[in-house]
């Protein structure tokens, strides 16, 4: 079984300056006054011009090297983060851009050595200056040739920094359901402490991340509300959103699907169950727990509540009855989640042990 890093992979990214900013910095450093004790004017000129070439090459190649090394290995990325990277930038495009920076770094170092050797063999002041200008021109051309690659990496650093720092490797429960069905309230209700709001790269809303502990505090569980993703028909999704949903599939251990049978959320029971059908098909390998929310209001909406229950019974789907607002039924739901998580954890551990043996 392949091992993946469980830490956040983009915390140490180094964003490069633009191509022009990099050149400006390199030229400034290369012409910074530096003295020499050499009395021979020819040798002093050689040292000065060779130093300028070396300084320019070092500034650029070192900066490019730091940028490339700051990115994690894509092969070692957990599938969740790899999918998100592909959604935001494109893994192949990013690989190519980083390889182009590595190529530029190597070429600049090679060129600088070649031109420095030529300078150190020269006996003529004008020729030394000409060689140094040629070297700087070649180096500048290389940097300009990767300008688009630098811009892509700059954009990648900005976008990847918005990816939520999700904990990989701990049991994760994803909350799904149409808007206003009570998902966020449930996350807050079953979480230990105050849930964290994290920016989310696929929507203009936020990702709500909470944690709770199974009975006895032996295992920490992550619970996530996903506004903008699993809250409307998948048939309405664009390619990027569908790939974002695929990323989520890599993360979820369980999905809790929330239904508002009172229809006060603004969506009919039929529409909510239709979305449930789609999610059941799309996430067929992930266990779903169905939750009917707003139990404290059911007496006012008997017809829609009974219609909802009947549609679920026709599908032979069991469900939990709760009021996330009042806290009714939360303990029973959390107990069931805990029991199912422990069962899955034991099964996963057994499979991993079999794979090792």
Q: What is the pLDDT of residue 6?
A: 60
Rounded distance between C-alpha atoms, residue 319 and residue 313, angstroms: 9
Q: What is the pLDDT of residue 203?
A: 47
Domain boundary among 160, 192, 207: 160
Question: Model pTM?
Answer: 0.75
pLDDT, averaged across the chain: 86
List pLDDT tens digits, range 193-213.
Answer: 676 665 555 544 566 778 877
* pLDDT grade for 352, boundaries at 50, 70 and 90: low
Which range of residues forms the domain containing residue 243? Answer: 172-356
* pLDDT grade for 32, boundaries at 50, 70 and 90: confident
Please indicate, yes or no, whether residues 37 and 121 belong to a single structural domain of this protein.
yes
The token duo for 355 is 């794979």
Please indicate, yes or no, whether residues 30 and 136 belong to a single structural domain of this protein.
yes
List pLDDT tens digits, range 281-315.
Answer: 888 889 899 999 999 999 999 999 999 999 999 99
Please indicate, yes or no, whether residues 148 and 214 belong to a single structural domain of this protein.
no
Say if 6 falls within a structural domain.
Answer: no
Contacts 24+ apart (CB under 8 A), 312-319: 312/273, 315/273, 315/277, 317/290, 318/290, 319/259, 319/290, 319/291, 319/292
Average pLDDT over residues 174-185: 89
Average pLDDT over residues 10-27: 95
Rounded distance between C-alpha atoms, residue 304 and residue 164, angstroms: 37
- The 8-class DSSP code of residue 267 comes to S
Please indicate, yes or no, whether residues 291 and 312 belong to a single structural domain of this protein.
yes
Task: Indicate the helix (H) or strand (E) that contains 318.
Answer: none
Q: Which residue has the higher pLDDT, 202 or 49?
A: 49
Please indicate, yes or no, whether residues 184 and 96 belong to a single structural domain of this protein.
no
Q: What is the pLDDT of residue 261?
A: 97
- Bridge partners, residue 288, by sequence: 255
Say if 107 falls within a structural domain.
Answer: yes
| Beta carbons within 8 Å of 133's beta carbon, 6+ residues apart | none
List pLDDT tens digits, range 120-137.
Answer: 999 999 999 999 999 999
* pLDDT grade for 5, boundaries at 50, 70 and 90: low
Strands 206-213 and 220-225: antiparallel
List pLDDT tens digits, range 221-245.
Answer: 888 887 666 777 777 777 666 666 7
Average pLDDT over residues 89-110: 97
What dihedral do alpha carbons 245, 250, 251, 256 form, nearest 10°? 60
Residue 331: how many CB atoms within 10 A of its CB? 11
Residue 303: how many CB atoms within 10 A of its CB? 10
C-alpha closest to that of 201 among 174, 238, 164: 164
Q: What is the pLDDT of residue 49?
A: 94
Q: Given a cut of 90, is residue 61 above it in pLDDT?
A: yes
Please indicate, yes or no, whether residues 78 and 99 belong to a single structural domain of this protein.
yes
Contacts 24+ apart (CB under 8 A), 136-142: 136/27, 136/30, 136/52, 136/53, 136/56, 138/111, 139/26, 139/56, 139/57, 139/60, 139/108, 139/111, 139/112, 140/23, 142/104, 142/107, 142/108, 142/111
Q: Given a cut of 90, is residue 72 above it in pLDDT?
A: yes
Please indicate, yes or no, whether residues 316 and 188 belong to a single structural domain of this protein.
yes
Do 12 and 84 contact (CB within 8 A), yes or no? Answer: no
Do 232 and 272 contact (CB within 8 A), yes or no? Answer: no
What separation in angstroms does the CA of 258 have from each of 44, 174, 261, 356?
Answer: 78, 11, 10, 38
Average pLDDT over residues 138-162: 95
Q: What is the pLDDT of residue 326?
A: 94
Q: What is the pLDDT of residue 248?
A: 77
Please indicate, yes or no, whether residues 94 and 178 belong to a single structural domain of this protein.
no
Dihedral sign computed on CA atoms, order 282, 204, 175, 329: negative
Q: Given a cut of 60, is residue 316 above it in pLDDT?
A: yes
Q: How many domains does the chain have?
A: 2
Domain with residue 220: its CATH number is: 3.40.50.300
Q: Given a cut of 60, is residue 10 above it in pLDDT?
A: yes
Label residues 207-218 b or e (16+ Cβ within 10 Å = b): bbbbbbebeeee
Which DSSP string do the residues of 103-171 spell out, in sequence order? HHHHHHHHHHHHHHHHHHH---HHHHHHHHHHHHHHHHHHHHHTHHHHHHHHHHHHHHTTS--PPTTS-
Rounded distance between C-alpha atoms, residue 272 and residue 296, angstroms: 19
Say if 3 falls within a structural domain.
Answer: no
Average pLDDT over residues 99-112: 98
Q: Given a cut of 80, is residue 156 above it in pLDDT?
A: yes
How far, rounded to the nearest angstrom, does the alpha carbon of residue 302 sit from its chain's CA centroid? Answer: 44
* pLDDT grade for 73, boundaries at 50, 70 and 90: very high
């Amino acid at each position: 079984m392949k091992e993946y890093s469980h830490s956040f992979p983009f915390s140490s990214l180094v964003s490069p300056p633009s191509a022009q900013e990099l050149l400006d910095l390199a030229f400034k450093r290369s012409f910074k006054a530096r003295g020499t004790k050499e009395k021979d004017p020819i040798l002093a000129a050689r040292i000065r011009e060779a130093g300028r070439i070396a300084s320019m090459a070092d500034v650029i190649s070192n900066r490019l090297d730091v940028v490339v090394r700051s990115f994690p290995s894509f092969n070692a990325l957990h599938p969740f983060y790899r999918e998100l990277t592909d959604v935001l930038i494109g893994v192949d495009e990013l690989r190519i851009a980083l390889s182009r920076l590595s190529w530029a770094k190597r070429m600049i170092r090679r060129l600088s050595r070649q031109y420095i050797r030529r300078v150190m063999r020269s006996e003529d002041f004008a020729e030394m200056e000409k060689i140094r200008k040629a070297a700087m021109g070649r180096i500048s051309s290389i940097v300009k040739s990767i300008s688009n690659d630098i811009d892509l990496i700059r954009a990648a650093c900005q976008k990847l920094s918005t990816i939520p720092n999700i904990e990989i490797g701990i049991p994760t429960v994803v909350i799904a359901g149409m808007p206003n069905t009570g998902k966020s309230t449930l996350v807050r209700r079953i979480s230990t402490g105050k849930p964290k709001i994290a920016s989310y790269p696929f929507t203009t809303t936020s990702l709500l991340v909470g944690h709770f502990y199974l009975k006895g505090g032996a295992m920490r569980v992550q619970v996530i509300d996903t506004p903008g993703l699993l809250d409307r028909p998948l048939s309405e999704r664009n390619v990027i959103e569908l790939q974002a949903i695929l990323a989520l599939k890599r993360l979820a251990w369980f999905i809790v699907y929330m239904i508002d049978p009172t229809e006060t959320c603004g969506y009919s029971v039929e529409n909510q169950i239709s979305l449930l059908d789609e999610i059941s098909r799309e996430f067929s390998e992930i266990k779903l727990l169905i939750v009917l929310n707003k139990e404290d209001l059911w007496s006012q909406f008997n017809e829609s509540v009974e219609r909802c229950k009947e549609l679920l019974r026709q599908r032979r789907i069991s469900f939990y009855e709760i009021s996330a607002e009042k806290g009714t039924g939360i303990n029973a739901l959390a107990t069931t989640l805990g029991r199912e998580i422990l069962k899955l954890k034991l099964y996963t551990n057994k499979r991993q042990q079999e794979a090792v043996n």
